[in-house]
Amino acid sequence: MSFFGEKSKKRLKRMVRYAILNDLFDTKTQNKTVFDESWREALEDEALEYGLNSYDYESAEDLKALLEEARYGWREKYTTEWIYNRCLDPDDFETEAEYEKARNEAKYAWRKDCLHEALEYDLDPNDYETKEEYEQARNKARYAWREECLHEALKYHLDPDDYETEEEYEEARNRTKYAWRKDCLHEALEYDLDPDDYDTKEKYEEALYEVKYAWREERLDEALAYDLDPDDYETEEEYEEELQEVKENSSFTGVDRHYLKQDLVKDNSTITIDQYFVDELDLCVDMETQIHYRYCGVLLSRSTTFYCYRTDDETIKIGDFVLVPVGRDQRQVAGVVVFVGEYAEAAVPYPVEKTKWIIRKLLK
């Protein structure tokens, strides 16, 4: 019995025939086959670098086309562009890494140019992705003073945004702020003042007032004695002129060291001075009484009536000017002392509890 069927025998014969034919290839054909396959080995390493297998392709041309696409396909992601004054063309670079390096160098070249300026504002260009972001941060630092000066600028009708630097703004502000100094210069020289010594016009005017009207304080006591107010006069000359006129017409003229008779003023606080002048030797006081009260008769300015006031000041004497309260509102008025005396409680010229006190003695 045969182990192979008819069909199997035919198939086996065919296989043997093909094997014999393959063994019968001549040397030339074999050499050609070896040459044609050498490209696979030559391109094998490069193909593996891009994840390709050289034995998967029929020809070297097919593999090289794929390798070209794999090697430079990244170029399609980029286009020729100008970056910071530099033209970058992907075709000029062999690898994407080389292109990216050149691109970053161009992209961040501004950082080097801005380094010195950045240090001035305590900034680091490397902290910013784009030049625009850096410039925004720089401007915020550079012009921070504008916001700080805004309130002050409005006061002088200025806009900080109109000035590039704080120095320029301050120069303009000072021109406006101290414009008054020029206007006051002539007057200041008259009183030996320098407007530049004062930061505000108010402070200058305060100093000017103190110098210009210092005479008012010096002559206040004298003015009160004649019921005058130095503040009513712009110059000392005007005040002096008015004072002389008052002195000439004053009711104080002719008042000597006299006392009024005690019995004439005992029951009333006022009495006509033209009727009751006596020599001080005529005044008798009970000096043996334990409690004594010192009374002064005060003649007010432009009046012929005097008023009784109490005092503890033993230096006050006839002819002295004193400051006394008058009326319910206690208005302070100057007057001249026309008599001085010490009285026992039973002999006082006006009730002790109702008699007002002399405020102080005035300088002549």
Instruction: Enumerate residues 6+ apart whose C-beta is below 8 A from 193.
Output: 204, 207, 208, 211
- Give the pLDDT confidence score for residue 22 in this predicted structure: 52
The tally of CA atoms less than 13 A away on the side-chain side of residue 89 is 2
Q: What is the DSSP string of 39-65?
A: HHHHHHHHHHHTT--GGG-SSHHHHHH
Q: Using CA atoms, how far apart are residues 37 and 11, in angstroms rounded to an integer?
A: 31
Q: Does residue 315 contact residue 302 with C-beta atoms inside 8 Å? A: no
Model pLDDT, residue 254 = 36
pLDDT at 300: 84
Classify residue 364 as exposed, middle or buried by CB count within 10 Å of its CB (0-12, 13-18, 19+): exposed
Q: Name the amino acid, one letter, at 18.
A: Y
Q: According to the model, what pLDDT value does residue 109 have?
A: 85
Query: Which pLDDT score, from 0 to 100, does residue 290 have?
Result: 60
CA dist., res. 335 & res. 326, Å (int): 11
pLDDT attached to residue 247: 73
Query: Residue 364's pLDDT is what?
Result: 62
> How far apart are the C-alpha atoms of 36 and 24, rounded to whole Å?
19
Supply the pLDDT for residue 289.
44
Q: Give the Å distances, CA to CA, from 287 to 283, 284, 341, 342, 355.
A: 12, 9, 11, 8, 21
Instruction: Confirm if 201 and 191 have CB atoms less than 8 A apart.
Output: no
pTM of the model: 0.42
Both ends of the chain: CA-CA distance in Å? 172
Q: Over the stretch 22-50, which tens digit does the pLDDT of each residue have? A: 554 444 455 544 456 788 888 788 888 87
The ranges of the chain annotated as CATH 3.40.1440 are 258-361
**What would the two tokens of residue 216 be?**
């008012």
Predicted pLDDT of residue 346? 85
Please give the pLDDT value at position 263.
39
Residues of the chain with pLDDT under 70: 1-36, 81-86, 225, 248-290, 302-303, 364
Class of domain 258-361: alpha beta
d(CA 55, CA 47): 10
